[in-house]
Chains A and B, each alone.
Chain A
Amino acid sequence: MLLEESRELAEFRSEVRDFVRKNLPEDIAFKGRFGLEFDKSDFVRWQKILRAKGWFAGAWPKAYGGADWDLEKQLVFTQEAVLNDAPPVILYGVSMVGPVVFTFGTPQQQARHLPGILSSDIWWCQGYSEPNSGSDLASLKTSAVRDGDSYIVNGTKMWTTEAHWADWMHCLVRTDREAKAQRGISYLLIEMNTPGIEIRPIITIDGQHHTNQVFFDDVRVPLENLVGEEGGGWTIAKFLLSNERVGIADTGPKLKLLSNIKKLFDMVEGSPTVSEFTKLSFRQKLADVEIQLTVLCALEQEYVKMWAAGGSKEGPHASVLKIRGTEILQRLAEIALEIAGPLGGAHDPSDLHLPAFINFTEAQRSSMMGHQYLYSRCWSILGGTNEIQRNIIARSILSG
Chain B
Amino acid sequence: MRHYAKEYRTMSQARTETQKMLAEMVIRLLTDLDGFEIRHRRLAEATPNRLALWPALAAQGIIGAAFSEDAGGFGGKMRDLSVVMEIIGQFLVVEPVLAVAICGRILASAGYGDQLPALIAGERILVFAHTESFDPFSLPVTMAQPIDGGHRLSGTKFAVRHADLAHGFVVTATLNGAATCFLVEAGAPGLQYDHFRMIDAASAATIHFVDTPAKFLADEQVVQEALLWSMTGLAAETSGIINAVNRATFEYLRTRKQFGATLASFQALQHRAADMFVGAEEVRIMTSRLIEAVDDGAPLRFKLASATKVLTDDVGRKIGHESVQMHGGMGVSDELNISHYLRRLAAIRAELGSADIHRARFALINEDSRDVA
In the complex, 5 of the A-B residue pairs with CB atoms within 8 angstroms, ordered by the A residue number, are A158-B329, A203-B333, A205-B339, A345-B200, A345-B351
Docked pose: A373 CA to B206 CA in angstroms: 22
Judge whether B332 is part of the interface by a CB distance below 8 angstroms. yes
Q: Once the chains bind, are B332 and A205 in contact (CB under 8 Å)?
A: yes
Docked pose: A153 CA to B103 CA in angstroms: 61
The closest CB in chain B to the CB of A279 belongs to B134
Judge whether A129 is part of the interface by a CB distance below 8 angstroms. yes
Q: Once the chains bind, are A278 and B356 in contact (CB under 8 Å)?
A: yes
Residue of B133, B199, B259, B357 touching A346 (CB-CB under 8 A): B199
Q: Once the chains bind, are A363 and B350 in contact (CB under 8 Å)?
A: no
> Least Cβ distance of A375 to chain B in Å?
9
**Known contacts A346-B198, A348-B197: A273-B133 contact under CB 8 Å:** yes
Known: A134-B329, A204-B333, A205-B342. 5 other contacts (CB 8 A): A278-B357, A341-B158, A363-B196, A370-B199, A373-B346
Residue of B131, B141, B342 touching A377 (CB-CB under 8 A): B342
> Least Cβ distance of B340 to chain A in Å?
9
Q: Once the chains bind, are A134 and B328 in contact (CB under 8 Å)?
A: yes
Q: Once the chains bind, are A342 and B331 in contact (CB under 8 Å)?
A: no
> Least Cβ distance of A347 to chain B in Å?
4
Docked pose: A203 CA to B134 CA in angstroms: 32
> Least Cβ distance of A364 to chain B in Å?
7
Q: What is the total number of residues of chain A having a CB less than 8 Å from a CB of chain B? A: 50
Q: Once the chains bind, are B159 and A345 in contact (CB under 8 Å)?
A: yes
A residues whose Cβ falls under 8 Å from a Cβ of B: 129, 132, 134-136, 139, 158-159, 202-205, 207, 271, 273-275, 277-278, 281, 330, 334, 337-338, 340-348, 361-364, 367, 370, 373-374, 377-378, 380-382, 385-387, 390
Q: Once the chains bind, are B134 and A278 in contact (CB under 8 Å)?
A: yes
Docked pose: A225 CA to B159 CA in angstroms: 55
Docked pose: A212 CA to B247 CA in angstroms: 28
> Least Cβ distance of B361 to chain A in Å?
10
Q: Mark B341-373 against chain A: 1 for CB-CB distance below 8 A, else 0.
A: 011001101110010110010000000000000
Q: Once the chains bind, are B334 and A205 in contact (CB under 8 Å)?
A: yes
Docked pose: A346 CA to B342 CA in angstroms: 14
Q: Once the chains bind, are B349 and A204 in contact (CB under 8 Å)?
A: no
> Least Cβ distance of B94 to chain A in Å?
12
**Known contacts A203-B335, A274-B134, A275-B135: A345-B328 contact under CB 8 Å:** no
Judge whether B1 is part of the interface by a CB distance below 8 angstroms. no
Q: Once the chains bind, are B329 and A129 in contact (CB under 8 Å)?
A: yes
Q: Once the chains bind, are B158 and A343 in contact (CB under 8 Å)?
A: yes
Docked pose: A378 CA to B321 CA in angstroms: 11
B residues whose Cβ falls under 8 Å from a Cβ of A: 131-135, 138, 141, 158-159, 194, 196-200, 204, 206, 257-259, 268-269, 317, 321, 324-325, 328-329, 331-335, 339, 342-343, 346-347, 349-351, 354, 356-357, 360
Q: Once the chains bind, are B335 and A345 in contact (CB under 8 Å)?
A: no
The closest CB in chain B to the CB of A348 belongs to B197
Docked pose: A136 CA to B268 CA in angstroms: 17
Docked pose: A380 CA to B329 CA in angstroms: 10
| A-side contacts of B339, CB under 8 Å | 205, 374, 377
> Least Cβ distance of A295 to chain B in Å?
22
Q: Once the chains bind, are B350 and A337 in contact (CB under 8 Å)?
A: yes
The closest CB in chain A to the CB of B136 belongs to A342
> Least Cβ distance of A329 to chain B in Å?
13
Closest 9 CB pairs of A and B: A345-B350, A347-B199, A203-B334, A344-B350, A348-B197, A363-B196, A205-B339, A345-B347, A342-B159
| A-side contacts of B317, CB under 8 Å | 334
Docked pose: A25 CA to B141 CA in angstroms: 43
> Least Cβ distance of A283 to chain B in Å?
12
**Known contacts A275-B135, A345-B347, A346-B198: A381-B332 contact under CB 8 Å:** yes
> Least Cβ distance of B337 to chain A in Å?
11
The closest CB in chain A to the CB of B360 belongs to A277
| B-side contacts of A274, CB under 8 Å | 133-134
Residue of A275, A277, A381 touching B329 (CB-CB under 8 A): A381
| B-side contacts of A348, CB under 8 Å | 196-197
**Known contacts A346-B197, A347-B198, A373-B346: A341-B134 contact under CB 8 Å:** yes
Docked pose: A97 CA to B196 CA in angstroms: 42
| B-side contacts of A129, CB under 8 Å | 329
Docked pose: A126 CA to B356 CA in angstroms: 43
**Known contacts A337-B350, A367-B196, A377-B342: A134-B324 contact under CB 8 Å:** no
Docked pose: A27 CA to B203 CA in angstroms: 30
